[in-house]
């Protein structure tokens, strides 16, 4: 049995930037940057790509086959169901929910989240502090996700996998973990949704050292962005979509 599986949620049909999952940053597809970082986390037993079951997703299937990374295909809109079935397909106990928009997940933070989650036998684990958008992941016990799957009917909860925990905190064992000092309360935008986000990533990868064995360091990223406000300004005005304000 696989204990901890990183499930990357991705699709080719992004509304703001179609095909962005495979769009290159520093000559590698964005998804490959994510996978390179996850491979640096020894607590993760398996990396799995969870994508919609549609013909348009064929490029992602082929990309995963080349690496190779296993793929699970499920519902496009019911992402909660996709995650549950993806976890069941590999008989995992714990799921690291990874957004396919985030090529700069902080490795030390992710390791501490998984370690605390397992030690505390938590249902759901996340950072205690605000950190840059795109720098973190969430850890979820698969049985807790199944419990939500049985109760959640609103499309808001089906599409946004972990929001149920935030609205029903007393029903679950929720663990909040201190973030590293270099990430705490930083408001930089490190998720990738627009051309401006790609521009910022290209600047970072061009100017900071990195390799597959030694991925870009987030402390170095923070220091660079503090020292180069013109780079930070590239995507500072991009509004992040708020799931509570979406029309369902």
Instruction: Say yes or no to pLDDT of 74 above 50.
Output: yes
Residue 194 CB neighbours (<10 A): 18
The strand pairing partners of 211, in sequence order, are 214
Instruction: Say yes or no to pLDDT of 5 above 50.
Output: yes
What gap in Å lies between CA 106 and CA 188, rounded to an integer? 13
Domain 4-180 has CATH 3.40.50.2300: no
Instruction: Say yes or no to pLDDT of 247 above 90.
Output: no
Q: What are the tokens at 243?
A: 């799931």
**Helix or strand (DSSP H, E) at 94:** strand 94-99
Instruction: Say yes or no to pLDDT of 242 above 60.
Output: no
Mind giving me the DSSP string for 111-137? HHHHHHHHHHT-SEEEESS---BTS--
Distances from the Cα of 126 to the Cαs of 65, 80, 113, 139, 187, in angstroms? 31, 18, 7, 7, 17
The strand pairing partners of 125, in sequence order, are 139, 175
Give phi and psi for 140, each to the nearest 5. -135, 135
User: What pLDDT is stored for residue 94 in this prediction?
Assistant: 98
Instruction: Say yes or no to pLDDT of 39 above 70.
Output: yes
Domain boundaries, the chain: 4-180
Mind giving me the DSSP string for 159-203? HSTTHHHHH-GGGS-EEEEPPPTTTTT---B----SHHHHHHHHH
The pTM of this model reads 0.93
Summarize pLDDT for 168-186 with one digit per residue, the tens. Answer: 999 999 999 999 999 999 9
Kind of pairing between the strands at 124-127 and 174-177: parallel
Summarize pLDDT for 188-229 with one digit per residue, the tens. Answer: 999 999 999 999 999 999 999 999 899 999 999 999 999 999
State the maximum Cα–Cα separation within the chain, in Å, rounded to a whole number: 48
The strand pairing partners of 8, in sequence order, are 49, 98
Contact 122, 139 (CB under 8 A): yes
Q: Which residues contact 213 (CB under 8 A, 6 or more apart)?
A: none
């Amino acid at each position: 049995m696989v204990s901890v599986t990183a499930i990357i949620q991705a699709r080719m049909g992004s509304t703001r930037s179609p095909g962005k999952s495979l769009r290159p940053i520093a000559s590698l597809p964005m998804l490959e940057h994510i996978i390179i970082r996850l491979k640096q986390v020894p607590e993760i037993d398996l990396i799995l790509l969870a994508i919609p079951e549609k013909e348009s997703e064929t490029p992602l299937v082929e990309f995963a086959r080349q690496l190779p990374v296993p793929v699970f295909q499920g519902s496009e809109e019911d992402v909660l169901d996709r995650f549950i079935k993806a976890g069941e397909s590999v008989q995992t106990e714990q799921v690291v929910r990874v957004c396919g928009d985030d090529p700069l997940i902080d490795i030390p933070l992710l390791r501490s989240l998984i370690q605390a989650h397992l030690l505390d036998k938590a249902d759901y684990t996340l950072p205690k502090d605000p950190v840059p958008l795109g720098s973190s992941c969430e850890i979820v016990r698969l049985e807790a996700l199944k419990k939500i799957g049985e109760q959640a009917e609103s499309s808001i909860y089906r599409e946004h996998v972990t929001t149920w925990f935030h609205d029903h905190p007393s029903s679950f064992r929720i663990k909040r973990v201190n973030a590293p000092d270099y990430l705490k309360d930083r408001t930089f935008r490190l998720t990738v949704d627009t051309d401006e986000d790609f521009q910022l990533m290209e600047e970072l990868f061009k100017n900071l050292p990195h390799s597959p064995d030694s991925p870009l360091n987030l402390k170095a990223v923070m220091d660079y962005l503090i020292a180069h406000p013109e780079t930070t300004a590239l995507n500072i005005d991009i509004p992040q979509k708020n799931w509570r304000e979406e029309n369902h």
